[in-house]
Structures are given as structure tokens and as C-alpha cells.
Amino acid sequence: MSDCIFCKIINKEIPSKIVYEDEKVIAFNDVNPAAPIHILVVPKKHIETLLDVSDEDSAIISHIYKVINKIAKQEDFAKNGFRVITNCGRDSGQEVMHIHFHVLGGKKLGDKIVE
């Protein structure tokens, strides 16, 4: 059994508010939202960080962007716009070591990507 919190969410060992799921990807609401819309899009394959993405994983990453497109239309925030962020490693503050894509929206986001 994995100690990874996102693997536990994928395996339904801990609950989450799922907004999209298919055989490769799951997307759920962030437990600590930084914006009115804050969805995490996560590959089911356990990949720790962006630096661990292999050539064979590139299809998953491209699929994730298609899924984000689908979710933005499904959840009706596509037309207003949104931001996608992936933290990687210490300086980014990455807390969960299972690669994920933050999808943020639902309000006018700050002009600066970093403080």
C-alpha cells in the first residue's frame, strides 16, 4: 500500500470531490483552495516530479492538457480563463511528491505568478 496521499485518493482510500476521472487521470478539488476554482489534475501513474517524467510518460502529460481543456468546458470556466501551475521540488514548495497540475480560476488572478 502506498504512503502517497494522491495514490490514496486515486485508490479511493481517502475521499475527495472528484470532478473528472478516466483510466489515466483523476481530477479533484484542492482541499485548501487558493481561488474559487482550484482543481488538481493528477496522473494515476505515480510520477514524483516534473523531473521524473520519462519519454514514455509524455503521452500522459499531453493527455492531462486535453483533460484540463475538457474540465474547463465541463465546469464552465473556459470562457473566463484560468491558470495552470505545476510545482517542482524544494524552491517551488511542492508538498505532495506525485506530479499534479493546479487549475486555478473563478476570479481575476493576480498579475504576478510569484510573489
Active site residues per annotation: 100
Q: How many residues in the shown chain lie near ligand DGP by CB under 6 A?
A: 14
Q: Is 96 in the site for ligand DGP (CB under 6 A)?
A: yes
Tell me the β-bridge partners of 105.
Answer: 37, 82
Q: How many helices (H) and strands (E) does the chain have?
A: 2, 5
Choices 18-26, 53-61, 88-96, 105-113 (CB under 6 A): range interacting with ligand DGP: 88-96
Cβ atoms of 71 and 20 closer than 8 Å: yes
Q: Is 54 in the site for ligand DGP (CB under 6 A)?
A: no
Query: 55-60: long-range contacts at Cβ-Cβ below 8 A with a sequence spacing of 24 or more?
Result: 60/24, 60/25
Among 4, 18, 19, 30, contact with ligand DGP (rule: CB under 6 A): 30
Cβ atoms of 16 and 29 closer than 8 Å: yes
Among 22, 24, 31, 58, contact with ligand DGP (rule: CB under 6 A): 31
Using CB under 6 A as the criterion, which residues of the chain lie in contact with ligand DGP when the complex forms? 5, 14, 16, 28-32, 40, 87, 93-96
